[in-house]
Each structure stands twice: as structure tokens, then as C-alpha cells.
Amino acid sequence: MIRSFSNLLSPPVIGMIVPLIFAVFSPIGWGSMNMDTSIITGLIFIGILPVLPWIIEVKKKKVDFDVSKRKKRTVLYTCAVISYITASVIFWLTGNKIMLAISLSYAFVTILIEIINLKWKISAHAAGIAGPTTAITYVFGTFFLPLYLLTIFVFWLRLKLKAHTPAQLFAGAGLAVLTTYLVYATIW
């Protein structure tokens, strides 16, 4: 049950949900795109392509589901960053500010996690829930602050699974909150 909840709140799953939320409920429109192309582009470049190399590596049994070996994460993070940057360029060129902000947030958070990961394991699970929660709260208002309770739940799940230390969880969440906030404060 703990593993199931951890998987449900994992970065790949959240990465599929977040583009839908921002594309469907955009309070500012989509630039020269429409809602459908925003959804499709977001799902492809924020939801699917970033995790495709991970899925392939898991199926080939080159990594375990959690990519427990820190050094194996680097290439996977690089693939994700390329996808997020591609999304950012597409959304920038089409004037799709709502999707640009979330794709840039994903890009910067993942770049920082990748750099830190070279020396120390940081929690992508914590970042993957705390960053999008920050974006949702920034765009849609403080009504959504209770979503941060999911971050606490993810902390508990990852500790129970012995996947991370408290420091790794706080670092992942803190990095994602700060980075996402700075991206939104800069371009929103």
C-alpha cells in the first residue's frame, strides 16, 4: 500500500497531471496555441518524453523502479531536461505563458537536482510534488495551499520505504519550492 501511494505521487504521474491542470484551467489563455495543442504538447514534453528513457531502462532491468543507484540517474535527468527545454522553447515561441512557466520550472528544478545528484542523493519525489504545488498556488491562489499536505505525505511514504533521509526530502522539496517560485516571480 505504501509503495502504491508512493508510485501514485511519483514525478512521472504528477508530470502527466500538471500539464493538464495548467492547459485546461489556464486563466490567461494559451498564446497562439489552443487548449488541445497545449494539452498534447504538455503531455508529450512534460509528461511522456521525460520518463520514456526511465521506462526503457526499467524494462531492460538496467535500473530499478526507484533508480536507487544515484549515478544511474544522471543520464535520465539529462533526457528529462532536454524535453523540458524543448517544451519551453515551443511554449515561448507560441506565446503560451502558462505552459512556458511550468516547463521552465521543471527544467530548472531538474537541472539543479541533476547537479546535486552528482555528489548527493536528493529526493525527486519530494521535488516532484512540492514544485507543482508551488506553481498551482502561485497561479490559482492560496486556496490551494492545502496541497502542500501531499508533500508531507510523500515525506512519510519515502521515509517508510527507506528511500530517502529527512535531509534528502527537505532538500528536494525546498529546492523545488524556491526554484519554482523564482521562475514564476520572474516571468508570470
pLDDT digits (tens, 9 = 90+) for 22-46: 999 999 999 999 999 999 999 999 9
In sequence order, which ranges of 43-140 are alpha helices (DSSP H)? 52-59, 73-93, 97-117, 124-140
| pTM of the predicted protein model | 0.95
Number of other CB atoms surrounding residue 188 within 10 Å: 13
Quick one: pLDDT band at residue 72, thresholds 50, 70, 90?
confident
Average pLDDT (81-98) is: 99
Chain-centroid distance of CA 81 in Å reads: 11
CA separation for the pair 125, 45 (Å, rounded): 19
Average pLDDT (159-168) is: 96
Number of other CB atoms surrounding residue 119 within 10 Å: 8
3-13 pLDDT tens trace: 999 989 999 99
Q: Would you state the cell numbers that stand for residue 73, as one nine-digit string?
A: 540517474
